Amino acid sequence: MLTFNQYLDMVNGAIARLQYPEQPARLYEPIAYTMDLGGKRLRPVLTLMACEAMGGKADDALDAALAIEMFHNFTLLHDDVMDRADRRRGKPTVHCQWNDNVAILSGDTMLTLATQLMTRARRFDLLDLFNRTAIEIYEGQQLDMDFESRDTVALDEYIEMIRLKTSVLLGCACKTGALAAGAGDDDAQALYRMGVDLGLAFQLQDDWLDVWGDPVTFGKEIGGDIANNKKTFLLINALNRATGEQATLLRQWLDTSSERHDDKVKAVTAIYEQLGLKELAQDEIARYSRRALQWLDSVKMGNDAHEAFAALINRLTRRDR
Amino acid sequence: MLTFNQYLDMVNGAIARLQYPEQPARLYEPIAYTMDLGGKRLRPVLTLMACEAMGGKADDALDAALAIEMFHNFTLLHDDVMDRADRRRGKPTVHCQWNDNVAILSGDTMLTLATQLMTRARRFDLLDLFNRTAIEIYEGQQLDMDFESRDTVALDEYIEMIRLKTSVLLGCACKTGALAAGAGDDDAQALYRMGVDLGLAFQLQDDWLDVWGDPVTFGKEIGGDIANNKKTFLLINALNRATGEQATLLRQWLDTSSERHDDKVKAVTAIYEQLGLKELAQDEIARYSRRALQWLDSVKMGNDAHEAFAALINRLTRRDR
């Protein structure tokens, strides 16, 4: 078993070795640009770790790991078009650097390239899992967009949305590595559940960091969700819990235009804190994190593999960026 | 061997039986809407015909045929976003009926649904062909967009673009049916080449109909390519052949704004006719059509199957709509 950073090096090395045709340049340059932007590479590392934890060789899962990372980057590329996001990882997004059409078509190409990578292992179980997960992710993205235009979103609807949009791909990454190593269905499924719970903790942590994170270490502006009235775990709980004057105040701030960005972020954060949401969210993150660790415990693997996963889960769900 | 219309009924029946989840409605309704718009269904019918011509049962190729039709409709959906097309088959396009984001995400979903359909046969050769063809089609679409902003396009570049954007999917449709029937590599490849040549003839016929077609039977406005200075087989040849005053006149019309639509279409059509392009294009269509028939002749199949393909090639390359 290697360390996270050693698997990360394997992934980054393999991504650097990916070759794209030279022409048409406006099709392939945005793909290379997107793949070279970096990022945590969490999903492909999970695949390699799960593969080795279940007795396989990381090399045997490398194409599948790349497929999942390519797919993930395709979803980011198209999401950025849909969200009109200007920047990603400190650089202009593809639709800003080129244009919308280039972003749409390069994204389509990345999806098929990802499918080709996933097909290389000649395993229909991997391909079925990959395709099914892709469909769930589109459903999650559509729900996320639907929620924007809705007045209220229930907490369980929100959790289901982030499960689909974010978590199932982490589950898929873990299960793919396990299956590539020849693990049995029960173990593979337990690692899938581990990945999903890790993903839920991870996304709730993202909601939390958007409010209480350190802008320098988090690397994004703080309060973006509040400014945009995004129906996160925090806002949904706040709307459920606030009563009387607090509820009125919260509603007033939601109706306040984004010109008063700093005041709004400060005021809504204060309401969240009065409602005990800082601790509630941490408890919920800890709960999903514990559940992920329980799924991990249910799978027989070497001590070093178990420790590596446990350390990763703890690190990711207590992260500050 | 059934008739074209009987295979068409099989395809339309299978499309009508496709089930989509009810939620999220804004993800799946545009997919059902797109698949129900109709169209020639040429590609899936070719797959079923090729399968039966090579001794298979059409049913065995039905999922693959649907995969190809779903993929084709996905490309139309995303192309319509990129081209800002308002209408398709007499109805509003998805991005007009809903919005761009819905069109992007529903299209992504259709691509994965198509891949799932193609995966059902558990044949990696079919899947590899499908993925490789998809990549070629994206390359063709990118070249088509690149050509718009270029001053000149060579004839062989144009032919290569339409080969990628349009023809390889017809080749893929034929080869997929042949492979599903268990045909040998040589026969499957000959039917692929037949499909590609048919596709080239088909696209050149489209260029021709845009100028000399009957607007009623063609179902589209005549002269759209001329009005938009689209670098078709005709315009590229006209620019190559026109000299002296004729060349000057052609250049002037290309610089004329689209406000003088009718005058421009009339004048450029006249130049095309003076240059003999009406006949040149027909000769070229006939040449590709003959090549398709030669590839057909090279494959051993029953008389009725041979006749059905030959009739289809003749009908499609002499079509008026």
Closest to A142 (Cβ–Cβ): which among B27, B107, B127? B27
Q: Which ipTM did the prediction report? A: 0.97
Between CA B208 and CA B217, with CA B213 as vertex, the angle to 5 degrees is 135
> Which CATH number is B184-321's, of 3.40.50.300, 3.40.50.720, 1.10.3720.10, 1.10.600.10?
1.10.600.10
Q: Comparing C-alpha atoms, which of B266, B202, B69, B228 is closest to residue B147?
A: B228
Distance from B113 to chain A by nearest Cα, in Å?
8
In CATH, the number for domain B1-181 is 1.10.600.10
Within an 8 Å CB–CB cutoff, is residue B311 touching chain A?
A: no
pLDDT tens-digit profile, chain A (321 residues): 999 999 999 999 999 999 999 999 999 999 999 999 989 999 999 999 999 999 999 999 999 999 999 999 999 999 999 999 999 999 999 999 999 999 999 999 999 999 999 999 999 999 999 999 999 999 999 999 999 999 999 999 999 999 999 999 999 999 999 999 999 999 999 999 999 999 999 999 999 999 999 877 766 778 999 999 999 999 999 999 999 999 999 999 999 876 778 899 999 999 999 999 999 999 999 999 999 999 999 999 999 999 999 999 999 998 766
Indicate yes or no: CB of B138 within 8 angstroms of CB of A27.
Answer: yes
* Residue A57: how many other CB atoms lie within 10 Å: 12
Predicted pLDDT of residue B321: 62
A26 contacts chain B (CB < 8 A): yes
| Binding-face residues of A in 102-161 toward B, CB within 8 A | 104-105, 107-109, 111-113, 115-116, 119, 122, 124, 127-128, 131-132, 134-135, 138-139, 141-143, 145-146
Q: Which residues of A touch B131 (CB under 8 A)?
A: 112, 115-116, 119
Read off the pLDDT of residues A158-206 as tens digits, 9 standing for 90 and up.
999 999 999 999 999 999 999 999 999 999 999 999 999 999 999 999 9
The shortest C-alpha distance from B266 to chain A (Å) reads: 32
pLDDT in tens, B117-145: 999 999 999 999 999 999 999 999 999 99
- B29: CB partners within 8 A, 6+ apart: none
Q: Chain B within 8 Å of A32 (Cβ-Cβ)?
A: no
CB A111 to CB B108 under 8 A?
A: yes
Looking at this protein, which amino acid is placed at residue A265? V
How far is the C-alpha of B321 from the C-alpha of B85, rounded, in Å?
19
Q: What is the helix (H) or strand (E) element at residue A88, kind and residue range?
A: strand A87-88
The helix (H) or strand (E) run that includes residue B140 is: helix B124-148
| Range(s) within chain B of domains with CATH label 1.10.600.10 | 1-181, 184-321
| Chain B: closest CA distance from residue A143 (Å) | 7
Closest-CA distance, A111 to chain B, in angstroms, reads 8
Residues of B in contact with A70 (CB under 8 A): none
Which H or E element spans position A44?
A: helix A42-53
Beta-carbon contacts of B35 under 8 Å, excluding residues fewer than 6 positions away, are B15, B18, B69, B70, B73
